[in-house]
Amino acid sequence: MKIGLFSTFMSPRADRTMLRDFAVQAESIGVHSIWMGEHVVLFDETEHPYPGAKDGKLPVPAGGGLLDTVATFGFLAAVTEKIRFGTGISLISQRNPLYTAKEFATLDWLSNGRVDFGVGVGWCKEEVIASGYTWPDRGARSNEFLELLKVLWTESPASFAGEHFNVASCHMDPKPVQNPHVPIIVGGHSKNALQRAARYGDGWYGFQLNAKATAPIVVQLRALLEQEGRDPAQFKIVITPTRNDQESIDGFTALGVDELVLHLGSQKPEAVETRLREVEALIS
């Protein structure tokens, strides 16, 4: 079982010193990966609640904000050698596909193939609209986004004609180091999200789940993969669990989960140090 760590790194606490020290220490104790969430702008009031907290509010310190995933991973790649980096998740319903393809191909190139592209349609309607996109068709647009991304990452020249995106014959380089492309790990628990994972993804990312809740989803995913003519053995399952103890790990291992991405928790230095010691004990 591979063990990673998830954090929404936030200013002002997550500065370059904190991030460098954390990543170097995480790599030294055998942490497999670091995953980050994404939000570009935040709103005091939203139509839909944040699904990761009981009060529906994204826990952000006053005057702080989430660091950008690509810039942060580029910095961390420069101070590490082996640890992988995953987005948990990139909000593709509000992203430009050409810039995204370029950013993550470059990140994969410079990190020597250490990137997982975790994706989802997102929950914040206000953020999607502020980014210049529409809310009702976000699912269909995200599906087409993934189709276009694969074309840009694997073909040269590349071209695409769709309902939401059209790209004339062009060249996008560098291509990703990983073959055939940066792994796409699709997040979300809805029927549409699972179908998207089975059709377009190289894996699925479940968030805030225990083994009991994960079990029927794994069964459903395997059935959907078989319907798509794909081999479930070649499909990665990544989970951020609700509990971070050995019993939880054993339950996910029995389900065939490939990687657990544990919550880092507080980014205060003493809390990070304590958390890394706990994770090291689980890895060993």
> Which of 48-52, 57-61, 146-150, 247-251 is predicted least confidently?
57-61
Contact 70, 107 (CB under 8 A): yes
pLDDT tens digits for range 206-238: 999 999 999 999 999 999 999 999 999 999 999
User: Percentage of the chain with pLDDT > 90?
Assistant: 92
pLDDT tens digits for range 11-66: 999 999 999 999 999 999 999 999 999 999 999 999 998 887 778 788 887 788 99
Helix (H) or strand (E) holding 240: strand 236-241
Domain count, the chain: 1
Domain that holds residue 43: 2-283
In sign, the C-alpha dihedral spanning 183, 252, 207, 281 is negative
What CATH number corresponds to the domain at position 179? 3.20.20.30
Contact 221, 194 (CB under 8 A): yes
- Model confidence, pTM: 0.96
pLDDT tens digits for range 74-117: 999 999 999 999 999 999 999 999 999 999 999 999 999 999 99
Contact 138, 91 (CB under 8 A): no
The CA-atom distances, in angstroms, between 65 and each of 53, 61, 77, 101 are: 17, 7, 22, 24
